Amino acid sequence: MSNIKKVVLAYSGGLDTSIILKWLQDQYGCEVVTFTADIGQGEEVEPARAKAQAMGVKEIYIEDLREEYARDFVFPMFRANTIYEGEYLLGTSIARPLIAKRLVEIANATGADAISHGATGKGNDQVRFELGAYALKPDVKVIAPWREWDLTSREKLMAYAKEHNIPVDFAKAGKKSPYSMDANLLHISYEGGVLEDPWCEPEEDMWRWSVSPEKAPDKPTYVELEFKLGDVVAVDGKALSPAAMMELLNKIGGANGIGRDDIVENRYVGMKSRGAYETPGGTILLKAHRAMESLTLDREVAHLKDELMPRYASLIYNGYWWSPERKMLQTMIDASQETVNGVVRMKLYKGNVYVAGRKSVSDSLFDEKIATFEDDAGAYNQKDAEGFIKLNALRMRIAARKRHR
Structural domains in the chain?
6-77+93-176 (3.40.50.620), 182-297+340-359 (3.90.1260.10)
Are the C-beta atoms of 116 and 143 separated by less than 8 Å?
A: yes
Does residue 235 have a pLDDT over 80? yes
Does residue 168 have a pLDDT over 70? no
Amino acid 169: pLDDT: 62
CA–CA separation, 137 and 322 (whole Å): 11
Active site residue 314: no
pLDDT in tens, 308-350: 999 999 999 999 999 999 999 999 999 999 999 999 999 999 9
Are the C-beta atoms of 221 and 253 separated by less than 8 Å?
A: no
Amino acid 157: pLDDT: 87
How much is the mean pLDDT over the chain? 94
Q: Going by C-beta distance under 8 Å and a sequence separation of 6 or more, which residues neighbour residue 253?
A: 210, 259, 280, 281, 283, 284, 348, 353
Q: Give the mean pLDDT of 386-405.
A: 92
Amino acid 172: pLDDT: 54
Helices (H) and strands (E) in the chain, counts: 14, 14
Amino acid 176: pLDDT: 53
Give 177's pLDDT tier (boundaries 50, 70, 90): low
Are the C-beta atoms of 260 and 210 separated by less than 8 Å?
A: yes
Q: Which of 38, 113, 125, 231 is catalytic?
A: 125
Active site residue 16: yes
Sheet of strand 180-183, all strands in order from the earlier edge strand to the far edge: 180-183, 188-191, 272-278, 260-266
Q: What are phi and psi of 233, to 5 degrees?
A: -115, -15
Active site residue 334: no
Q: Which of 180, 294, 314, 323 is catalytic?
A: 180
Are the C-beta atoms of 258 and 288 separated by less than 8 Å?
A: no
Q: Going by C-beta distance under 8 Å and a sequence separation of 6 or more, which residues neighbour residue 190?
A: 179, 180, 181, 202, 206, 275, 276, 277
Does residue 175 have a pLDDT over 70? no
Amino acid 102: pLDDT: 98
Write the Ramachandran bin of 86: left for phi over 0, alpha for psi from -120 to 50, otherwise beta. left
Which range among 40-44, 250-254, 281-285 shows the weakest confidence by mean pLDDT? 40-44
Candidates 235, 225, 214; CA nearest to 291 is 225
Distance of CA 51 to the CA centre of its chain: 29
Which range among 22-31, 63-72, 177-186, 281-290 shows the weakest confidence by mean pLDDT? 177-186
CA–CA separation, 330 and 79 (whole Å): 9
Does residue 392 have a pLDDT over 80? yes
DSSP-assigned letters across all residues of 242-284:
HHHHHHHHHHHHHHTT--EEEEEEE-TTS-EEEEEEE-HHHHH
Q: What percent of the chain has pLDDT over 70?
A: 97
Give 364's pLDDT tier (boundaries 50, 70, 90): very high
Q: Give the mean pLDDT of 172-179.
A: 59
| pLDDT top residue among 357 and 176 | 357
Does residue 377 have a pLDDT over 60? yes
pLDDT in tens, 115-128: 999 999 999 999 99
CA–CA separation, 167 and 395 (whole Å): 75
Amino acid 171: pLDDT: 45
| pLDDT top residue among 377 and 390 | 390
Q: Quote the pTM value.
A: 0.94
Give 405's pLDDT tier (boundaries 50, 70, 90): confident
Q: Which of 96, 102, 274, 358 is catalytic?
A: 96
Give 165's pLDDT tier (boundaries 50, 70, 90): confident
Q: What percent of the chain has pLDDT over 90?
A: 85
| SS3 (DSSP) at 152 | coil
Q: Give the mean pLDDT of 81-94.
A: 97
CA–CA separation, 149 and 141 (whole Å): 17
Amino acid 1: pLDDT: 47
Radius of gyration over alpha carbons of the chain, in Å? Answer: 25
Amino acid 15: pLDDT: 86
| pLDDT top residue among 11 and 170 | 11
Q: Give the mean pLDDT of 263-273.
A: 95
Active site residue 139: no
